[in-house]
Amino acid sequence: MIDFQTRPEDYKHWRLSFEGELARLEMAVAQDQPFGEGYELKLNSYDIGVDIELADAVQRIRFEHPEVKVVVITSAWDKVFCAGANIRMLGLSTHPFKVNFCKFTNETRLAIEDSSRFSGIRWVAALNGICAGGGYELALACDEIYLVDDNNSAVSLPEVPLLGVLPGTGGLTRLVDKRKVRRDLADVFCTLVEGVKGKRAVEWNLIDGTFPKSKFQAKVGERAQELARSLPERGTGASAGGLALEPLKIDRKDDGIVYEHVRVDLDREKRVATLTIQGPSADQPKTGDEYLAKGCEAWAIAACRQLDDALCRLRFDELEIGIIKLQTRGDVDALLEVERNLLADQGHWLSREILAYWGRTLRRLDLTARSIFALADQESCMAGVFLEMALAADRIYALDNEEKPVRFAVGPWSNGALPMSHGPTRLQVRFLADPLKADRLATEQPSMTAREADELGLTTFLFDDIDWDDELRIAIEERASLSPDALTGMEASLRFAGPETCDSKIFGRLSAWQNWIFIRPNATGEEGALVRYGNPEPARFDWRRT
């Protein structure tokens, strides 16, 4: 089982320091402390343990240090920035772990880009040595990239020629979509094992600049200071201090996981998990300053952290769980009040960070490779962000009860505050054929019964008390009988209707192409490139294109 919680004082692989408006994040991977057995983390190569610490550092910079405007990410070791994901680790890992590892790693890079987009934090990659594979993909997630000019250091994406796979965390897409590298030059770059150095790397727009070794740290520091001076404060209250993210309280049971506001019940025999999230009480903070005073125990922060952790644990620890039954509980009006207050206070840095965190967590739900059925029964709180969670599901089942109607309510966050990975809202995706309906629901934010919601198209099926249990049982049994591979591909294709962005292209291609390539003999067969990497015998390929 994987523990996704850590803190800076427990880091094994990163050094995080602060100086006024600047943060410095140094990669110092402990070679002899891998997450698993059978490999060493040479040359600042990384595994899931390294990336869990990076994800934690990104989160803490956002919540605990509102004064920070610029983050410099570099290496603590001379002549090497990062050699990328550890090849031995990948060679020893199961296929599901490899794919989930790539997905988690890319979500961490997206969190960096999210902090730039929504929090105004700028990230500067200071590549003080060789930078290959996932190391360069980490640099690509930053706003600016600078490479030391020492006649040796280069940037490279050598996965195709060396390993017979692809850069697994968005490298190809970020090259052409984000950095606008010319397609033919990107083609050459991605087939050069040795990579590209200095002046040529600048000319091809692979990096933003290069500095001689003797001046490298000073020049990067000057650029970071210049950037910080050009940026505004991150929001009201940024000078008053941050919010400490205390460890989550988790009760891990044989048949589930229990948090304060989130519960996961596991039926491994039926391959079903029931994910239940409890809404807030009426007494919640109204402003960012009040959230600071309340601390991370406030519902809007605590519930989001718990949901995020639960999703990660389901992905890595419960591989045979195929269906998530999503249940919501709580008071509709209390939940909507929390949303309205946070949305009204977006000028405050913490209110903005809380809302952005909910956006990232719901996108993690969107990208989770499980069938998700949302259940709206008599106890449900099918409103606001909980309705957003239901809209992220593959199906919504609602109970039709005239005596105690289930209440649906569109909340203020459904009007663009929680975009999906490819840009639109979940309402816009649901009503792609009728965008005016999506706009009207988001603007008017109606409250309605389950029957009214069904008439508007907000549910998949509406059942009465007599049929409810049997219909759900049949639907879940039928779903569990289908190929998990086919379902993963189907769900990933159907959930993201409409336009694409850099983010959605990365995940779409990761789910399809990388997933497929990882199980092809040319990569992971006994004579495949990933397996034979570092051995004297070269890989042997099946040369047929399929």
Q: How far apart are CA 530 and CA 161, in angstroms?
A: 10
For residues 385 and 453, membership in a common domain is answered with yes
Q: How far apart are CA 74 and CA 158, in angstroms?
A: 21
CA 2 to centroid of chain Cα atoms: 17
For residues 219 and 340, membership in a common domain is answered with no
CATH number of domain containing 469: 3.90.226.10
For residues 167 and 271, membership in a common domain is answered with no
For residues 153 and 35, membership in a common domain is answered with yes
For residues 212 and 273, membership in a common domain is answered with no
Number of structural domains found in the chain = 2
| Residue whose structure tokens are 């294109």 | 545
Q: How far apart are CA 483 and CA 181, in angstroms?
A: 39
Average pLDDT over residues 360-379: 96
Average pLDDT over residues 30-40: 96
Tell me whether residue 520 is in a domain.
no
Strand ranges of the sheet holding 407-409, from the earlier edge strand across to the other edge: 382-383, 407-409, 447-449
For residues 267 and 221, membership in a common domain is answered with no
For residues 185 and 295, membership in a common domain is answered with no
Tell me whether residue 484 is in a domain.
yes
For residues 121 and 206, membership in a common domain is answered with yes
For residues 288 and 162, membership in a common domain is answered with no
Quick: pLDDT tens for 46-99. 999 999 999 999 999 999 999 999 999 999 999 999 999 999 998 899 988 988
- Burial status of residue 449 (CB atoms within 10 A of its CB: 0-12, 13-18, 19 or more): middle
Quick: pLDDT tens for 171-225. 999 999 999 999 999 999 999 999 999 999 999 999 999 999 999 999 999 999 9
Which pLDDT does position 88 carry in this prediction? 92
SS (H, E, C) 285-299: CCCHHHHHHHCCCCH
Tell me which residue of 358, 416, 346 sits closest to 389, measured CA to CA.
358
Q: Is the pLDDT of residue 449 over 90?
A: yes
Q: Is the pTM of this model over 0.75?
A: yes
Quick: pLDDT tens for 274-309. 999 999 987 999 999 999 999 999 999 999 999 999
Q: Identify the helix (H) or strand (E) that includes residue 73.
A: strand 70-75
CA 26 to centroid of chain Cα atoms: 22
Tokens encoding 79? 């002549």
What are the two backbone dihedrals, phi and then psi, of residue 247, each rounded to the nearest 5 degrees? Answer: -60, 145
Q: Identify the helix (H) or strand (E) that includes residue 18.
A: strand 14-19
Which pLDDT does position 314 carry in this prediction? 97
Tell me whether residue 104 is in a domain.
yes
The domain in which residue 200 lies consists of 8-230
For residues 169 and 293, membership in a common domain is answered with no
Q: How far apart are CA 6 and CA 175, in angstroms?
A: 31
For residues 195 and 257, membership in a common domain is answered with no
Which pLDDT does position 177 carry in this prediction? 94
**Axis crossing angle, helix 349-366 with helix 299-317, rounded to the nearest 10:** 30
Q: Are the beta carbons of 390 and 326 closer than 8 angstroms?
A: yes
| pLDDT grade for 512, boundaries at 50, 70 and 90 | low
Which of 197, 230, 263 finishes a domain? 230
For residues 404 and 322, membership in a common domain is answered with yes
